[in-house]
């Protein structure tokens, strides 16, 4: 789920991943702050003792009663702010947030050339999400968060190359031993790669 909030001179994009097994929400993003307007409600305290002017009520409404974490990095100063610091530091499965890095690795590896080229050829298996049941470009697969498409991409990248990229990125605990096309997807009895919202935001 993507939430876009605009106020003052501040534009925020939040990518939220809902962990269906634990009910935990991961939210990590980078924010560019340029003269944001002040807000009458208290905002997030950052590492420099200042406050980013985002009302707690906006964040709580975005989480809709779920537990979770929000991490903000001010790109101009490097200040890190978080909502629920304990949750922000907890390592969990990245779920669909890994598709960002999966796609970037595919681009850097030359497997993907553009967002609008043919990316995923549907295998004919009907799945619960209708948008997954057709051929997709990278842009379409990303918008639909098409798990089979990004599993296919991971298989093309391959375990050795993927492990090398994960190591170079310093991505969480770097453990992809669950399998090249499932290591970011939680399931009963499966040990996924683990990364905290703070670690994600710092990448």
Which residues are the active-site residues?
96
Residue 138 to residue 48: CA distance in whole angstroms: 39
| Coil, strand or helix at 97 | helix
- CB-CB contact of 120 with 139 (8 Å): no
DSSP secondary structure letters along 125-140: ---SSGGGSS-EEHHH
Segments in 29-137 forming alpha helices (H):
56-63, 85-89, 98-108
Q: What share of the chain is helix, strand, coil (3-state, %, to 5)?
A: 30, 25, 45
Pairing type for strands 67-74 and 24-31 reads: parallel
Residue 75 CB burial class (10 angstroms; 0-12, 13-18, ≥19):
exposed
- CB-CB contact of 39 with 5 (8 Å): no
Residue 116 to residue 183: CA distance in whole angstroms: 27
């Amino acid at each position: 789920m993507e939430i876009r909030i605009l106020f003052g001179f501040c534009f925020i994009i939040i990518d939220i991943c809902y962990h269906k097994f634990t009910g935990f929400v991961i939210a990590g993003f980078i924010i560019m702050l340029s003269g944001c307007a002040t807000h009458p409600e208290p905002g997030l305290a950052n590492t420099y003792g200042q406050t980013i002017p985002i009302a707690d009520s906006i964040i709580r409404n975005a989480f809709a009663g779920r537990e979770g974490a929000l991490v903000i990095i001010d790109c101009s100063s490097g200040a890190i702010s978080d909502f629920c610091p304990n949750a922000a530091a907890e390592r969990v499965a990245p779920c669909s947030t890994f598709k960002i890095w999966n796609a970037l690795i595919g681009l850097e590896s030359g497997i993907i050339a553009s967002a609008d080229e043919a990316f995923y050829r549907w295998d004919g298996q009907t799945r619960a999400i209708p948008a997954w049941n057709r051929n997709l470009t990278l842009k379409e697969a990303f918008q639909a968060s098409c798990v089979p498409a990004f599993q296919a991409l991971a298989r093309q990248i391959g375990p050795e190359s993927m492990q090398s990229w994960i190591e170079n990125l310093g991505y969480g605990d770097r453990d992809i031993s669950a399998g090249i096309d499932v290591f970011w997807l939680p399931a009963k009895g499966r040990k996924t790669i683990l990364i905290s919202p703070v670690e994600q935001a710092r990448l």
